[in-house]
Structure 1
Amino acid sequence: MPAPLPVSRAARDLPESISRVNQRQELVHITLDTPTPGRRGQREWQQCADLLAHPDGLATWREVAAEWLLAEYGEAPHQTVAAGVRSWYLQVPAYLATLLFHHERRVPSLRPEDLSFRIAARGKPEPAGIAVANRAFACLPDDPAAGSSEAFVVDSEDRLVQLLRARYVAHAARFVRAYQPTVRFGARNLWGAATDALDVGMWRAGKQNGDEGAGVTDAELLLRDCSGPFTSASTLHPATDEHGRLGWTRRKESCCFHYMLSEGKGPCRTCPRVIPPL
């Protein structure tokens, strides 16, 4: 397991937290404040609030996703394209929230007005960068920054979890309202994807840090005693692979529709079309 990263008493703010979590992961680069224009060859930043207020931007993203699928597979089924954009968008607030909670026990603003992202310029058009425009965050009483003007202190870990869920649900609900009229998905499908994004985010945070079990524990904590709009508690559970090695797997709450591509593979082994609800 990597050694704990040092926390400077002179640098206790959200920028320092973001710097530390960026050292723990390479999936999406996270930055603070208003993002600068992309370098040549990079895609432009998009504010989440603007995208949700003008869903034509989501349609444009689906066009980019369709072009990528055509290049990769020679076809781009509507449901596969729509499912890709659905899950990639929800990754933005979910990944940011789970990283900062797992590593820092901090919860940033997840308001669409405070988050921006840009998608990868090459390959799969998923988010490659996330920017946070608000330096405020919630934390626990023993956080080194608990006395700062940017910190909102809650009295227990359970309260911090509740706040994370509430902030994420508020963002996801705005996405569901904007996206659902443009695709052939019901609310259950979209909230299943929102549940997946949190569960996978915590699991990934643990794996990236060399302690998969800690990520599983935090996923269970985050989705414990959850009811609507989340579609389940964490579905992570121990499993033995084909070589007899014990590890972790999960049942997805939403389908990626990759089985619609003419590869003849059928649904994933963890798809809700294959595995009944736990």
Structure 2
Amino acid sequence: MDTVRRPSAVAGLAASVARVAPLQRRTEFRADLPAREGWQRCSALLGDPARFDGWRRLLAGWLRDRFGEAPARTTAGYVMSWYLHVPAYTAALLLHHERRVPLLRPGELAFRLGGDRPHPEGIAVLGAEFYCLPADPAAGCPEATVVADERALAAVLRARYTAHAAKFVHAYAPVAGLGRRMLWAAATDALDNSLWWAGRQSGDEGAGVADAALVLDARHAPLTSASALRLNGDRTWVRRRESCCFSYLLPGEAECVECPRVRHRA
């Protein structure tokens, strides 16, 4: 039995993560859960939403050290965006580099907060199953589910990410004091941004923009918009935000240029 499964272990999802990991400059990306402290599964937070309060208190201390204040709405907004980054960035990296989509189940993703800034600076992809294209060298592995083409792969990514985000919205809305529309807007931002960033960080921004257009080709409710990437007058890519991070509530901080508050006021 072991000799049958050994090829899939070499060619499977863990191998994809290992290939992608050295390409990351700011995020530790791995396929196992280290024994050292600081790592937590997404399912642990979603199963006990009160744990988000501890994360927000840690963030509040960090903000007070830098700004002197830590408005509750700002800590709620930062944690909202940072948590959603974990499944979104995982999906975006593996799509961009490997044309593979993991299941993104909360029990199969974990993250580690940074020591100097309480945001996820390490991500662990713990599952073995994945979706891939017919030409994938691991298409015959028992952990692989083959889909017809890139449009089908994009649809799977969108569905798996939305399923994870729905669990987050259900768990976080009651403890954060943020509306569900805001939370789904943040989920849309996280996915669109991550697809874009995966291309930018690998030196092919155009490919990242194309991935975003492929996955978010239209508004797929409960996500709140199609990809919001566009070329500005300088022929550089920019993105209209769907959600607010509430940084403007911090002393001396203004609203982001692409903040929906600015857009709605114009």
Taking structure 1 as the reference length, the TM-score comes to 0.89
Native 8 Å contact 1:27 1:128 kept in 2: yes
Alignment of 1:183-222 (within 5 A): 183-222=176-215
Cross-structure match for 1:116: 110
> Match of 1:275?
263
Aligned to 1:64: 58
Contact preservation (8 Å) 2:94, 2:101: yes
Distance in 1 (alpha carbons) for counterparts of 2:262 and 2:35? 44
After TM superposition, give the deviation of residue 11 of structure 1 in Å: 3.9
Q: Which runs of 4+ in 1 moved over 6 A?
A: none
Partner of 2:15: 16
Aligned length: 259
TM-score, normalisation: structure 2: 0.93
In the other structure, the counterpart of 2:238 is 249
* Aligned pairs for 1:153-192 within 5 A: 153-192=146-185
Counterpart residue type for residue 234 of structure 1: S
| Contact preservation (8 Å) 1:76, 1:261 | yes
Contact 1:9 1:144 in 2 (8 A): no
The residue matched to 1:267 in structure 2 has which SS? coil
Between the aligned partners of 2:123 and 2:87, the Cα distance in structure 1 is 9
Deviation per residue, 1:136-173 (Å, 9 max, x gap): 11100000111111211111211111111111111100
Deviations 1:189-234 (A, max 9, x none): 0001000011100110111111111101110111112331110001
1:14-93 map, 5 Å: 14-33=13-32, 35-38=33-36, 44-93=38-87
Aligned mates of 2:155, 2:23 — CA distance in 1: 25
Q: Which has the higher helix share?
A: 2
> What's the RMSD between the two structures over aligned residues?
1.8
Say if 2:189 and 2:243, in contact at 8 Å, map to a contact too. yes
The percentage of counterpart residues that share the same residue type is 51
Counterpart residue number, 1:5: none
CA-CA distance at 1:9 after TM superposition: 11
User: Equivalents in 2 of 1:261, 1:191: separation in Å?
Assistant: 23
8 Å CA contact 1:251–1:275 kept in 2: the answer is no
Q: Which runs of 5+ in 1 are unaligned?
A: 1-7
Tell me, what secondary structure is at the counterpart of 2:11? coil
Determine the structure 2 residue equivalent to 1:261. Answer: 250
Deviation at 1:23, TM superposition (A): 2.3
Confirm or deny: 8 A CA contact 1:109 1:134 kept in the other structure: yes
User: For the Cα contact (< 8 Å) 2:50–2:175, is it kept in 1?
Assistant: no
Deviation at 1:10, TM superposition (A): 9.5
